[in-house]
Amino acid sequence: MQNLVVCVGEKCHQSGAEIVLKSFMTIIAREQLENEICLKCSFTIGGCCERDEVSVRLGDRMFKVDPENAHLAFAKDVWPSLTPTMED
C-alpha cells in the first residue's frame, strides 16, 4: 500500500487542499483502490507553492496539483505508480 499525502498547511489549504482531498477520495472509492492507496493529509510536506496549487507526495515523489484538475493529476502522477509496467 502506498501513502498519498495531501498538504493541508496554510498555503495549500487556501489553494484548495480540501478540493484535492475530495477529488482523490472520490477516485479512490470509484476505482476501488482502498487496498492500494492510503490517502492522508499533513500540515506541511514542503514544497509550498506560490500559485494556486496544492503539494502532494506519493512515496518519495512530490508533485503539485491544481485543485480544478485534481483528477488529471491523479491520472498522470498516481495511476502510473499503481500500474505495473509491461516490459518486453
Q: Using CA atoms, how far apart are residues 11 and 88, in angstroms rounded to an integer?
A: 44
**pLDDT (tens place) for every residue of the chain, 88 residues total:** 889 999 998 888 888 899 999 999 999 999 999 999 999 998 877 766 667 888 999 988 888 899 999 999 999 988 888 765 444 3
**Strands of the sheet with 2-7, listed across from one edge:** 37-42, 2-7, 54-58, 61-65
User: Domain 2-82 in CATH: superfamily?
Assistant: Glutaredoxin (3.40.30.10)
Q: Using CA atoms, how far apart are residues 15 and 17, in angstroms rounded to an integer?
A: 6
In this prediction, residue 43 carries a pLDDT of 87
| DSSP single-letter state for residue 71 | H
In this prediction, residue 85 carries a pLDDT of 44
Residue 40 near residue 6 (C-beta atoms within 8 A) = yes
In this prediction, residue 10 carries a pLDDT of 84
Q: CA angle at residue 25 from 24 to 31, to 5 degrees?
A: 85
Residue 3 near residue 40 (C-beta atoms within 8 A) = yes
Query: What are the residue boundaries of the structural domains of the chain, listed by start?
Result: 2-82
In this prediction, residue 20 carries a pLDDT of 93
In this prediction, residue 18 carries a pLDDT of 93
